Chains A and B, each alone.
Chain A
Amino acid sequence: MRVVVDYDLCESNALCMVAAPEVFEVRDDDFLYVLQDEPGEELRGKVEEAVRRCPKQAITIEG
């Protein structure tokens, strides 16, 4: 599974960080940092939740 963020869409709402803190972090500069581009399968549920909860539909999963 590969996590792709469209940074043109991302507005750092930080919902992804709540859903999958292992993968997404919005720091105090209010930019989103993807901590793991290819998280393990055990995180799939959380990453899918992050995709759904993103208000900008800025996250996609490949594979």
Chain B
Amino acid sequence: MQLERVVIVGASLAGFRAAEELRTRGHTGTITIVGDEPHRPYDRPPLSKQVLTGAKPPESTELHLALGSVDDLGLDWRLGESATGLDLAGRTVLLGGGERLPYDGLVIATGASPRRLPGTDHLDGVHTLRSLDDSMAIRAALAAGPRRVAVVGAGFIGAEVAASARSLGLEVSLIEALPVPLERGLGPQMGAVVADLHRHHGVDVHLAVGVVLIEGGDRVERIRLTDGSVLDVDLVVIGIGVSPNTEWLEGSGLTLDNGVVCDASCRAAPAVVAAGDVARWPNERFDEVMRVEHWDNAIAMGGHAARTLLGDAIPYTPVPWFWSDQYDRKIQLAGRAAADDVVEIVSGSVEERRFVAFYGREGRLVGVLGMSQPAKVMRWRRLIEEGASWEAALAMAAATA
């Protein structure tokens, strides 16, 4: 089928990468890219780190191409506009302003939105962090010198915001409902190491407690926790996870279940692919249906989905990878990590917070975690790609330790 008109809904990393890949692979037809933010595609990782602390200006986050200028892609931009519906049979995307965009190929890359705490919308000083504008608002609030910052949720965003605020010399409380930070991402054992990292840097860490109420008049004044403690705070950042942006697809006929459900090659329907945080697909390498919220996945999956759209449909089987910078430590995980995996430290020292840990599941190596050991993580990542057994992986690590 001739692909003349491509519409990409979502103008962040996955959508942008899909556009670049379409052009790299010789697509000469139109590419219309729809983004609900007013900004051109930008890089989100600095938003919880350098942009938040003021070390990097917001303009520095604009995304580049491998070669040449973004304008060379010849994209037809619809920025500051939201898609509100999809007519699958009629192959048309509907925009909020009433415009209808017919397509021969559609890329869904609408990402995800931060969850909010109910009952906080009327309070000034309560923030979530996803967009550049969110980051700038928190940056201004941090610069105003709050007496205490409360970060609710110790996932990646929460842990990084806590580290950034602390690095500015502010008093920080980190509140997590689970027993350790990053439990979903790293499992309980390594999450405990991250808890120690934050305590070491002077963060007031509250684990396994929930928020009862965030109180104040116009502005936030205090937080009441389920263990009875009350924290006086004047800035709250909530990082309790995200929900995939699929509302606009409800009733479209696409299968929605914690994201847009795709086949192994990122295809959601004939002439429709999905990529990035919004997409859920069976990763055959891990025999697991995944939705991956990592930066690196947005890049790789955006490219893969574009190739599928162009007719080169093969299974997308990445070894997921992420990093998180907190204080002077770089946490990286290649592969998977779940709460009931076996975890083994294969080199370095947990006490010094410089080590590599392997995660094993059903006799296989499934994950490699490093704290400030980037070269080793990437070297051992190959073992996951090769499908190394748990025993073989441990033996290889022991031989080089």
Contacts and interface: CB of A to CB of B under 8 A. Distances in A.
A51 B372 CA distance: 22
Contacts of A27: 375
B323 A26 contact: no
B353 interface: no
Contact of A48 (B66, B323, B375): B66
A52 B17 contact: yes
A28 interface: yes
Nearest to B67: A61
A8 to B, nearest CB: 12
A15 B321 contact: yes
A11 B378 CA distance: 14
A15 B66 contact: no
Contact of A13 (B67, B332, B376): B332
B381 interface: yes
A37 interface: no
Residue among B45, B66, B303 facing the most chain A CB atoms (10 A cut-off): B66
Nearest to A25: B375
B375 A26 contact: yes
B124 interface: no
Nearest to B400: A28
Interface of B: 17, 20, 43, 45, 63-64, 66-67, 295-296, 299-300, 303, 321, 323, 325, 330, 332, 372-378, 381
27 contacts: A11-B374, A12-B375, A13-B323, A13-B374, A14-B375, A14-B377, A14-B378, A15-B378, A17-B378, A26-B374, A26-B378, A28-B375, A28-B376, A30-B372, A30-B373, A30-B375, A48-B66, A52-B17, A52-B299, A53-B299, A53-B300, A55-B45, A55-B295, A55-B323, A57-B43, A57-B63, A61-B67
